[in-house]
Structure 1
Amino acid sequence: MGDGTAGRGPLTGRRSPAVRRAFAVLAGAAALATVCGCTAETAGTDGGAARPPVRADVGPTSPDGPADGKAASTAPARPADDGTASPKASPATSAPPPRVLWSRGDRGPAVRELQARLRQVAWLFEGPSGTYDARTEEAVKGFQGKRGLPRSGRTDSVTWQRLLGMTREPGRWELYLMGGQPAAEPDPRCLTGRVLCVDKTSRTLRWMVDGRTLTTVSVRFGSQYTPTREGVFRVYWKSRHHVSTLYDSPMPYAMFFSGGQAVHYSPDFAARGYAGASHGCVNVRDEAAIAELFARVRNGDKVVVSW
């Protein structure tokens, strides 16, 4: 009919089969669109196929993946080179070498202490001299090498700290073990005449004439059980090649001053230093010096032994 109701049935609302098929097609298209997730916002405006939305924040972990279908990169995004990027970190600089405290040729009390401490750990066997000589350098090298330090032979701050941690502060005897200890002020009784002035505190013997010191040598004394007597004595006998009848030991250049006690040269003192002791005599280790004293000293010259 020409009233615009063509294709529809009577007023009862029934539709013709063609109209029903058309509605079915439209309904199916709508259902398909809902399942695919397409919306009016995603539809193209050029009549073409719908395109997925472009997301600027899609990264390697985005479920959407890259828009071009390529495999996602795992490398982090590089910032744009806008000239504000931080400069590259410079390589770490190496630590400065430790400061050298003493080396070959140095002298003084600090070197003497170094040598005394090296003796304590058996790297140096001669007594402290206060001079950083070749033997001290070799001892330092040995100590350094044993502990994985550079074998320079120079005592730097690291070597010194390691040595301090392994040793104790040396006493006065250790510092002057092999002689060289400053002689103490002479006993007032030594200031007149010809005197062998013996000081147990500094372990020295001065040969003095009218208050002037002409010779000073290192000496060793008796042990706790055979102490060297103290006091003022006189040389009463000199014996160049003397041998002790009591101990059957040589006492060359002996100058007796109290019973069997004498000032004399001691090969044992020369070999072992203060590791040993006499039987009461005053031992001298310098053979040339005692030979000169023996030639100068006369019977009747004074001998003063004091602390």
Structure 2
Amino acid sequence: MGRAIVATAALSALLAVCGCTVQGTDADGKHHLPVRIELPGAKASPSATASTPGTPSAAPAANVLWSRGDSGSGVRELQARLRQADWLFDGPTGTYDDLTEQAVAGFQGKRGLPKTGETDKVTWQRLVKMTHEPGKWDLYLMGGQPAGAPDPRCLTGRVLCIDKTTRTLRWMIDGRTVSTMSVRFGAQYTPTRDGVFHVYWKARNWVSTLYNSPMPYAMFFSGGQAVHYSYDFSARGYAGGSHGCVNVRDEAAIASLFAQVRTGDKVVVHR
């Protein structure tokens, strides 16, 4: 018995020096959860410091909700609220980029908070109190809203299928979607007409004779209304509106579309 006690003590001392894990046993000799032995002053591993459910962690993680590189609906709302507070003029994009980080740091510094550029709970609560809940088009100010199901009239032939509800344009051939892009419509007093039309004229470089505004990649389908690239839409998003035309903000996308669309192709504008 004396030798067993000495041997056990020696083994425990050796294991303590090595920082190993001792497997404890019950009275019947069965193993239960391991007991970790750490050297005094040694940095514990994450598994050693993790708390069990229901018990507070000894070293809680920082209260950061979002930081650079994150993405998702929460980041999109953050960006929309930063725009309301005049700290961000880009987006919302849904991605926490360098401009978002700079905006958050500026907002924090103005209010005496640590200028980390990361959105922690305190920063978020201050921002929420100063702003209102963003609406759908505040969140998708620059486009990016998923396209809805195409109108049945778009399922045959070559069609520019334009959805006013989701603010998207689908370029479709025989029921297959070739490309999709965000679009903007006419303002309250100059609405874009709904219905079925056809492209009757194309102009690569056109300037409106009525408003003296550039209309690159114009594809006219109803009177003076056309699908075309808009510098204003590219810069301001849905904060502005057209005089009835269907604006596209992605120049590369509409350049490609312009090259594919032919005179006589169908245009369906629907809700």
What TM-score comes out, normalization by structure 2 length? 0.76
The residue correspondences of 1:1-307 to structure 2 (distance < 5 A) are 99-307=63-271
Q: How many Å apart are 1:272 and its aligned residue?
A: 2.2
Where do 5+ consecutive residues of structure 1 fail to align? 1-94
How many aligned positions are there?
213
Q: Paired residue for 1:29?
A: none
C-alpha separation in 2, matches of 1:274 and 1:137: 23
SS, match of residue 170 in structure 1: coil
Q: Paired residue for 1:52?
A: none
Q: How many Å apart are 1:271 and its aligned residue?
A: 2.1
Higher-Rg member (1/2): 1
**Larger relative contact order (Cα-Cα within 8 Å, sequence gap ≥ 6):** 2
C-alpha separation in 1, matches of 2:83 and 2:267: 34
C-alpha separation in 2, matches of 1:271 and 1:112: 18
Identity among equivalent positions (%) equals 78
Q: How many Å apart are 1:114 and its aligned residue?
A: 0.6
Q: Which amino acid aligns with 1:270?
A: S
Report the RMSD for the aligned CA atoms in angstroms: 1.4
SS, match of residue 126 in structure 1: coil
C-alpha separation in 2, matches of 1:152 and 1:183: 37
Residue by residue, what CA displacement relative to the aligned partner does 1:241-262 show, whole Å, maximum 9, x if unpaired?
Answer: 1121111221111101101100
C-alpha separation in 1, matches of 2:268 and 2:81: 34
Contact 1:192 1:211 (8 Å CA) reproduced:
yes
Contact 1:191 1:211 (8 Å CA) reproduced:
yes
Q: How many Å apart are 1:275 and its aligned residue?
A: 2.1
Residue by residue, what CA displacement relative to the aligned partner does 1:41-93 show, whole Å, maximum 9, x if unpaired?
Answer: xxxxxxxxxxxxxxxxxxxxxxxxxxxxxxxxxxxxxxxxxxxxxxxxxxxxx
Contact 1:98 1:157 (8 Å CA) reproduced:
no
SS, match of residue 153 in structure 1: coil
C-alpha separation in 2, matches of 1:303 and 1:208: 10
Where do 5+ consecutive residues of structure 2 fail to align? 1-58
C-alpha separation in 2, matches of 1:186 and 1:147: 47
